[in-house]
Amino acid sequence: MNHLDAAREIIRLEIKALEIMCGRLGEGFERAVELVAACGGSVVVTGVGKAGLIGRKISATLASTGTPSHWMHAVEARHGDLGRVRPEDVVLALSNSGETEVVQLLPSLKKLHVPLIALTGRPGSTLARHAEVVLDIGEVEEACPLGLAPSSSTTAMLVLGDALALTLFRMRRLRPEDYAFYHPGGELGRRLIKVREVMRRGARNPVASADVTVRAALKVMSGEGRPGAVSLVDEAGVLVGFFTDGDLRRLLEEDGAEVLERRVRDVMTPGPRTVSQESLVAEAYRMLRDFRIDQLPVVDGAGHPVGLIDVQDWLDIERGAAMPDHPPV
């Protein structure tokens, strides 16, 4: 058997393990979802060895999808870390055999009256017998040539953990912006931040009447933050134009200083491109990039300029300097 054939056989064995586990899903999974959903505290995930490593990932997935969770090493729990467990928590213990050091926590968990979910391949094991709910992956065949190294079993645990976390995620009907709150850094967060969360407001969003002179507009746009642009409005406060320092430079080169006394309405960009405050920042950035502009007015439903997005704002987000500052609702 060559290397590719060996790899394909390993993958087939792990897929088979998933199919076996999928076929065994039933009431236990339903009860696990209900138990975690009703939990008033945190899901404490514990385990040792390779199962413990999988447990760390499951805990991280739960936490990042709206279910409070933290990891606790089963051995360290016996040396003080058990103090992290509260009566309102739920414990999710991982052990394929159901007979690892995790079982040594059972008397303490019983005293704390903490519900226990066992994720195991042995429904008759010590761990499973003492659990309120058993998530059974089945007696899968490890993909290891010796049938010893955890492989198929840990894959099954990982997938079942994902299934639990994401079922809860779907049940809670979290919105994209809620998900972004748990992922403020990296590409996930950047893709889902809304314009209203990072746009420039107040004095950093210069607004002037379209009937003032270029000189007066220049004074407004040179204020706090020096955005180098000003949104121009009519008598009703509706955006009708946009004027930037780039526009000013071109006009000065063409007409000289006398342009400063002209009405800005006569030299502004009328009907400028805009973005809604409910749009995603990524969409605003695409507009800045595609149309090769540095600023973009942000308008509300009535067309009033309520903010300003600058290309620098996106660079700040890329560096992690501007992130959502409000919890999901």
The enclosing domain of 233 has a CATH number of: 3.10.580.10
Residue 323 lies in a domain: no
Q: Which residues of the chain have pLDDT under 70?
A: 174-191, 224-226, 316-329
How far apart are alpha carbons 112 and 115 in whole angstroms?
A: 9
Same domain, yes or no, for 203 and 117? no
- Token pair, residue 176, equals 């994209």
The whole-number pLDDT of residue 318 equals 63
pLDDT number for residue 329: 36
Q: Looking at the structure, do residues 137 and 269 belong to the same domain, yes or no?
A: no
Residue 105 and residue 235 in one domain:
no
pLDDT score recorded for residue 327 = 39
Strand-strand pairing, 229-233 and 239-244: antiparallel
In DSSP terms, 213 is beta-bridged to 263
- Domain holding 124, by residue range, is 3-174
- In this structure, are 144 and 223 located in the same domain? no
**Res 325: pLDDT:** 41
Does residue 248 sit in the same domain as residue 313? yes
Closest CA to 93 of 138, 140, 65, 125: 125
Total domain count for the chain? Answer: 2
Q: Does residue 186 belong to any structural domain of this protein?
A: no
C-alpha distances (whole Å) from 329 to each of 9, 66, 181, 192, 281 are 47, 12, 10, 15, 20
Looking at the domain assignment, is residue 275 inside a domain? yes
The per-residue pLDDT for 314 is 73
The 3-state DSSP class for residue 276 equals strand
pTM of the model: 0.66
Q: Reduced to 3 DSSP states, what percent helix, strand and coil does the chain have, rounded to the nearest 5?
A: 50, 20, 35
- The answer to whether the CB of 104 falls within 8 A of the CB of 88 is no
**Quick one: pLDDT at residue 280?**
87
b or e along 24-52 (b: 16 or more beta carbons within 10 Å of the residue's beta carbon)? beeebbebbbebbeebeebbbbbbbbbbb
Query: Are 148 and 48 contained in the same domain?
Result: yes
> Is 197 strand, coil or helix?
helix
